[in-house]
Amino acid sequence: MSIFKAYDIRGIYSSEIDERVAYRIGAAFGTLNYGKIAVGCDTRLSGPQLKEHFIKGAISTGSEILDIGVVTTPVVVFAIEHFNCDGGVNITASHNPKEYNGFKLFDANAMPISYESGIGTLKEIFESENYRKGKGYSSTLAIKEDYINFILALVLARMKIGNRFSVVIDGSNGAAGLYAPEIYRRLGMTVNELNCTADGNFPGHDPDPSKEENLLDAKSRVKEAGADLGFVYDGDGDRLAVIDKDGTAVESSRIFSLLARFLLEEKPGAKIVHDALMSGMAIDTIKRYGGLAIPCRVGHTYIAQKMMEEAAELGGELSGHYYFKETFFADDAILASLKIIELISQEGKRLSELIKDFPDYVSENIRISVKESEKFSFIKKLKEELEREGYLLDCLDGVKVIFEDGWALFRASNTEPKISIAYESKDKEEYNKIKKFVQSIIERVPQ
């Protein structure tokens, strides 16, 4: 499988991505986005050497490199804006297991670069090795203090929380653990650190908070410590899971609904972008509070781009990514968690109380294995068949079948040989009907 994906470059170190590949990607990126480039990496073991070779490649094009060290992906976005860069790169495999590494790329507007908007061209330059030539240079830059001050300025004025508020922070041994505890402490909270040391072996658990098994440490620590809330971040600090005071994980659609409600009380009529997988709970909530819900394809490159085009204030993906206009449309998980605390501090209520009045939907998300070579053609064929059978379809991203009181969405995964399926309804009987329909489709998937 190619390392050049729909939203980023990703593969296994060192069989798919090694130092030589990193050099060539650096040279290709410097050719494509020539100028001043911010470069960071997460805590993966292969990060330092891949960064060194990426930088050497980019320098050979005449580019000027700002090496910003170990960072979350939102920090790279901040660096591009703050230092007026022509592009930026984080060397990270996000929430993937430790064997992986990769490159998330950003343009001069700090917009993530997708396959269509640049990775495809970068791949052509990479393959032809037809690079720009020049004499560049690199310098290291300590960015932590600037970023922390930037985030504090966004929330400080409204935070009324004292040291009696206590949080558990699980950094998953990734980059967020190097930033989040200090920000929380400066806001006066009591911080319980869990997996907040940088360790690319990820000894605590895999850095993916969308998987239940990776939340176990944080859940029990919240209860043991009697903390008010717990937050689990992924490897590069853009994916978040929230644990309530009683040690239960709160679904991302509830967190997003809460963030939307919070925003709309302050900015009535605001535009809010959500991915195609997002629960009707959040969409209903956005409408109920007078916001404009804008649907978008799944994937950070599409959400950020859509938000910029629409000048949207907030964005959200079911996988636990929350995007903000204030962070230049980046999905900053640290800011998302601070906003949850801000809301609690304003309303003086517990999280469980704040989320209980959202409409209840029954939903399920599953992934089914499929022959890699047939995953896209299966979705295309399914669309044609369902159209012929007279179903009402929405084809913004994959095939979404619209029922009277619910929906089912079928998509080919961009990263794995899988078909991802989501379905939901407000009504239990309708949900069971949709579930049966989904089962009948699953039988058609080529294994």
Q: What is the DSSP string of 257-303?
A: HHHHHHHHHHSTT-EEEEETT--HHHHHHHHHTT-EEEEE-SSHHHH
Q: How many residues contact Zn ion, by CB under 5 A?
A: 5
Closest distance of CB 11 from Zn ion, Å:
16
CB closer to Zn ion out of 166 and 301: 301
Q: To which H or E segment does residue 114 belong?
A: none
Closest distance of CB 394 from Zn ion, Å:
27
Q: Which residues pair with 366 in a beta bridge?
A: 421
- Closest chain position to Zn ion (CB): 94
CB closer to Zn ion out of 170 and 228: 170
Task: Examine the residue annotation and report whether 321 is marked as an active-site residue of this protein.
Answer: yes
CB closer to Zn ion out of 233 and 361: 233
Task: Examine the residue annotation and report whether 10 is marked as an active-site residue of this protein.
Answer: yes
208 forms part of the interface with Zn ion (CB under 5 A): no
Q: Which two tokens stand for residue 355?
A: 């989320």
Closest distance of CB 320 from Zn ion, Å:
9
234 forms part of the interface with Zn ion (CB under 5 A): yes
Region class of 244: left (phi > 0), else alpha (psi between -120 and 50), else beta: beta
Tell which residue, 368, 336, 144, 110, has the closest CA to residue 242. Answer: 336
DSSP 247: S
Residue in 238, 251, 332, 424 binding Zn ion, rule: CB under 5 A: 238
224 exposed, middle or buried (CB, 10 Å; 0-12, 13-18, 19+)?
exposed
236 forms part of the interface with Zn ion (CB under 5 A): yes
The span from the CA of 71 to the CA of 83, in Å, is: 15
305 forms part of the interface with Zn ion (CB under 5 A): no
Give Cα separations from 327 to 73, 76, 126, 237 (angstroms). 11, 11, 31, 13
205 forms part of the interface with Zn ion (CB under 5 A): no
The span from the CA of 281 to the CA of 425, in Å, is: 10
Catalytic position from the list 46, 60, 63, 94: 94
Residue in 31, 43, 90, 94 binding Zn ion, rule: CB under 5 A: 94
CB closer to Zn ion out of 279 and 319: 319
> Which segment (90-98, 152-160, 202-210, 411-419) binds Zn ion by CB under 5 A?
90-98
SS3 of residue 46 by DSSP = coil
239 forms part of the interface with Zn ion (CB under 5 A): yes
CB closer to Zn ion out of 76 and 354: 76
Nearest 10 degrees: Cα torsion 361, 270, 234, 165:
-90
> Which segment (81-89, 233-241, 251-259, 353-361) binds Zn ion by CB under 5 A?
233-241
Q: Are 422 and 409 in contact (CB under 8 A)?
A: yes
52 forms part of the interface with Zn ion (CB under 5 A): no
> Which segment (88-96, 125-133, 171-179, 300-308) binds Zn ion by CB under 5 A?
88-96
The span from the CA of 101 to the CA of 42, in Å, is: 9
CB closer to Zn ion out of 73 and 166: 73
> Which segment (28-36, 149-157, 213-221, 228-236) binds Zn ion by CB under 5 A?
228-236
The span from the CA of 215 to the CA of 7, in Å, is: 26
Closest distance of CB 188 from Zn ion, Å:
28
CB closer to Zn ion out of 214 and 425: 214
Task: Examine the residue annotation and report whether 94 is marked as an active-site residue of this protein.
Answer: yes
The span from the CA of 295 to the CA of 300, in Å, is: 13
Known catalytic residues?
10, 94, 321
Report the interface residues with Zn ion, using CB under 5 A.
94, 234, 236, 238-239
